[in-house]
Amino acid sequence: MSSLEIRDLTVELGDRIILKNLDLSISSGSFAAILGPSGCGKTTLLRSIAGLITPRGGAIRFGKQLVSVSSLVLPPHKRNIGYVPQEGGLFPHLSVEENVSFSLGKKTSKKERDELVEELLDLVGMPNYQKRLPQELSGGQQTRIALARALAMKPAMILLDEPFAALDQTLRAEISQEVVTLLKSSKTTSIMVTHDREDALVSADIIALMRDGQVVQSGSPSEVYLKPISAAAAESTGDILTLPANKIEGNQYLSPLNSPVEQIGQRAGYESGQILVRPEEIALNLEPGERRVSAKISKINYYGHDALVELNFAGLAQVVRARVTDTKGLEVGSNIFVSHKGPIRWVPEKATDQ
Partner 1 sequence: MSQEGWARRQSRPSIALLVASTIALLAASLPLFYLFRRAIDAEISEISLILFRSKTLEILATTLGLTAAVTALSTLIGLALAWTLFNIDLPFRSALQALVILPVAIPSYVFTYSWISLIPGFKGLWAALFVLVLATTPYITLTTLAALRRSDWSTYEVAQTLGLNGLQIFVRVTWPQIKNSVAAGSLLSALYVLSDFGAISLLGVDTLTRAIENIYRGSFDRSSASILALILVAISALVIRLEERSRQRLHIIKSSNRIIKRAKTNDKLKVKLIALFGIGSYLALGLAIPLFQLLSIFLANSTSINYSLLFKASISTLIAACLGALIALTLALPVGVLSAQGSRLGRVSDKAILIVHALPGIVMGLALVSFGSSIPWLYQSLLLLSFAYALLFMAKAVGSVRSSVDRVPKNLIEISATLGLPKSATFRRVVIPLATPGLLSGTLLVLLAAMKELPATLMLKPIGFETLATQMWSYSSIFRFNEAAPYALLLVLIAAIPTFLINRPDEGDGIGGDQI
**Sequential DSSP letters for 74-137:** --GGGS-EEEE-TT----TTS-HHHHHTTT--TTS-HHHHHHHHHHHHHHTT-TT-TT--GGGS
State the nearest-atom distance from the C-beta of 150 to partner 1, in Å.
Answer: 7
Q: How far apart are CA 279 and CA 338, in angstroms?
A: 12
Q: How far apart are CA 280 and CA 277, in angstroms?
A: 8
Can residue 107 be called a binding residue for partner 1 (CB under 8 A)? no
Q: Is there a contact between 87 and 143 (Cβ–Cβ < 8 Å)? A: yes
Can residue 78 be called a binding residue for partner 1 (CB under 8 A)? yes
Can residue 135 be called a binding residue for partner 1 (CB under 8 A)? yes
Can residue 113 be called a binding residue for partner 1 (CB under 8 A)? no
Nearer to partner 1, 135 or 352 (CB): 135
Binder of partner 1 out of 3, 10, 25, 54 (CB under 8 A): 54
Can residue 134 be called a binding residue for partner 1 (CB under 8 A)? yes
Can residue 166 be called a binding residue for partner 1 (CB under 8 A)? yes
How many other CB atoms are found less than 10 A from the CB of residue 126? Answer: 19
Q: Is there a contact between 188 and 175 (Cβ–Cβ < 8 Å)? A: no
Can residue 112 be called a binding residue for partner 1 (CB under 8 A)? no
Are β-strands 72-73 and 31-35 bridged in parallel, bridged antiparallel, or unpaired?
unpaired
State the nearest-atom distance from the C-beta of 285 to partner 1, in Å.
Answer: 51
Binder of partner 1 out of 3, 7, 17, 52 (CB under 8 A): 52
Binder of partner 1 out of 36, 41, 55, 82 (CB under 8 A): 82
Can residue 80 be called a binding residue for partner 1 (CB under 8 A)? yes
The span of 148-156, 195-203, 298-306, 341-349 binding partner 1 (CB under 8 A) equals 148-156
Q: How far apart are CA 156 and CA 239, in angstroms?
A: 35
**DSSP category for residue 266:** G
Nearer to partner 1, 52 or 254 (CB): 52
Can residue 75 be called a binding residue for partner 1 (CB under 8 A)? yes
**DSSP category for residue 62:** E
Nearer to partner 1, 162 or 281 (CB): 162
Can residue 90 be called a binding residue for partner 1 (CB under 8 A)? yes
Q: How far is CA 347 from each of CA 148, 264, 271, 303, 350, rounded to the nearest angstrom?
A: 44, 9, 11, 30, 8
The span of 10-18, 91-99, 113-121, 326-334 binding partner 1 (CB under 8 A) equals 91-99
State the nearest-atom distance from the C-beta of 107 to partner 1, in Å.
Answer: 13
The span of 30-38, 89-97, 182-190, 336-344 binding partner 1 (CB under 8 A) equals 89-97
Q: How far apart are CA 314 and CA 256, in angstroms?
A: 10
**Which of 179, 177, 237, 231 is closest to 206 using CA atoms?**
237
Residues in the site for partner 1, rule: CB under 8 A?
A: 47, 50-52, 54, 66, 71-83, 85, 87, 89-94, 102-103, 134-135, 137, 139, 142, 149-150, 153, 159, 166
